[in-house]
């Protein structure tokens, strides 16, 4: 292969695929990025066998088509430190030369045939959705994914294709987040699958243009998403996602609206005097006032009062403040609806019909 490429565009593409290339693996080929020069531009591919990415760079003048396979981190460092507007790339099965105005790097490579295939989206998509809608849905759910759990199914996010809607659900057993978005196009039967958190994080970072459309294709054992000039293919998380509908309270008898920013500020301040051992913050609802209080042994106490409309019997309930901060900070509505029942029952936060959050209380004694 032989081509001249825009350095900034190459650096951006390497930054994207580099998030997938494995850093520690017994298979060195998975630490590499594959470069394929063709008539449309230069395609960069990386995979860790769980997630694979293909990214097309169009700002390229290709003199000879071909492929090279080199260490992703070394190539990224060279391109990042370069001061040239364009770089000349020339490579084969053995090495890749990166030439600038005053520099020449020769990176020893591997046989591109050793590199595992990275899936492309072929045929028609099962779902098309605005990138901004999908990114918002991911940001509203990903924080609730279980970080480490033997129930592997909740280490990912449930995708539910329901007619012309897409629904994402995440839970770690102590809270549950559900977000809904309308699709631009939906064909075929309804589907359920569980996407790994790593794939979801990649999507959240790289769905940059809110008005652009992301195409989604569901395969028996993987999901493929195409957006602009990149494609990501991900294996699915095995197992059965919990029946989350069963944990959403249906009998809450105390409903109120709260200013989101004011509540977020109050929770953050109350959390300042908590400790890892005493993470709970007391929420006392009474007489159109919410009083948040916390106490940390040998550190002090905090009390924050927030005016709101509350015309129900008094209620004291405790929550892990971080669980509320996580969701309040990713919402953009002015107000949230809070539904409560009893001190030992979950609370529900809603934003219209597109977002639902269930959080379990904590024992303050």
Which residues lie closer than 8 Å to 284 by C-beta, 6 or more apart? Answer: 290, 291, 292, 293, 314, 315, 316
* pTM, two decimal places: 0.93
Q: Is the pLDDT of residue 11 over 80?
A: yes
Residue 281 to residue 284: CA distance in whole angstroms: 10
pLDDT band at 332 (very low <50, low <70, confident <90, very high): very high
Fold of 248-359: DNA Polymerase III; Chain A, domain 2 (3.10.150)
Provide the β-strand partners of residue 233. 52, 224
Domain pair 2-114 / 127-244, same fold: yes
Q: Which of 360, 362, 358, 361 is nearest to 248 (CA)?
A: 358
Phi, psi of 130 (to 5 degrees): -60, 135
Say if domain 127-244 classifies as CATH 2.40.50.140: no
Q: Is the pLDDT of residue 166 over 80?
A: yes
Tens digit of each residue's pLDDT (9 = 90 or more) over 19-44: 999 888 889 999 999 999 999 999 99
Q: What is the mean pLDDT of residues 282-306?
A: 93
Q: Is the pLDDT of residue 150 over 80?
A: no
Tokens, residue 186: 């939906």
Query: Which sequence spans correspond to the domains of the chain?
Result: 2-114, 127-244, 248-359
Q: Given 3.10.150.10, 3.40.710.10, 3.30.70.260, 2.40.30.260, which CATH number is that of 2-114?
A: 3.10.150.10
pLDDT band at 181 (very low <50, low <70, confident <90, very high): very high
Total residues belonging to the chain: 365
Q: What is the mean pLDDT of residues 213-222?
A: 95
HSE at residue 343, side-chain half, CA atoms within 13 A, is 16
Helix (H) or strand (E) holding 14: helix 7-17
Q: What is the mean pLDDT of residues 167-189?
A: 96
Residue 44 to residue 21: CA distance in whole angstroms: 11
Largest CA distance in the chain: 77
Q: What is the mean pLDDT of residues 304-319?
A: 96
């Amino acid at each position: 292969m032989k081509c001249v490429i825009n350095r900034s565009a190459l650096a951006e593409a390497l930054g994207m695929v580099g998030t997938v290339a494995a850093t520690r693996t017994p298979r060195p080929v998975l630490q590499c990025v594959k470069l394929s020069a063709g008539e449309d531009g230069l395609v960069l591919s990386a995979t860790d066998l769980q997630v694979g990415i293909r990214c097309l760079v169009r700002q390229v003048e290709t003199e000879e088509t071909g492929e090279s396979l080199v260490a992703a981190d070394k190539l990224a460092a060279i391109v990042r430190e370069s001061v040239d507007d364009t770089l000349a790339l020339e490579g084969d099965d053995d090495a890749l030369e990166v030439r600038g105005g005053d520099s020449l790097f020769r990176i020893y490579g591997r046989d591109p045939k050793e590199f595992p295939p990275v899936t492309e989206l072929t045929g028609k998509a099962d779902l098309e959705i605005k990138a901004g809608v999908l990114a918002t849905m991911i940001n509203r759910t990903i924080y609730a994914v279980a970080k480490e759990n033997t129930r592997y199914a909740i280490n990912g996010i449930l995708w539910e294709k329901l007619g012309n809607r897409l629904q994402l659900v995440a839970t770690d057993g102590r809270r549950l987040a559900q977000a809904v978005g309308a699709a631009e196009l939906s064909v075929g039967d309804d589907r359920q699958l569980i996407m790994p958190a790593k794939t979801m994080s990649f999507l959240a970072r790289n769905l940059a243009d809110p008005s652009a459309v992301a195409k989604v294709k569901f395969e028996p054992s993987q999901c493929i998403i195409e957006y602009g000039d990149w494609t990501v293919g991900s294996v699915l998380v095995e197992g059965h996602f919990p029946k989350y509908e069963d944990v959403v309270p249906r009998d809450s008898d105390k409903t109120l609206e709260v200013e989101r920013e004011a509540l977020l500020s109050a929770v953050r301040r109350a959390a300042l005097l908590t400790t890892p051992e005493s993470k709970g913050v007391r929420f006392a609802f009474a007489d159109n006032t919410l009083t948040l209080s916390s106490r940390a042994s040998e550190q002090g106490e905090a009390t924050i009062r927030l005016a709101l409309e509350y015309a129900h019997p008094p209620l004291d309930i405790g929550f892990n403040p971080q669980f509320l901060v996580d969701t309040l900070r990713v919402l953009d509505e002015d107000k949230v609806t809070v539904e409560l029942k009893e001190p030992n029952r979950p609370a529900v936060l809603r934003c219209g019909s597109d977002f639902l959050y269930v959080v379990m209380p904590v024992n303050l004694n």
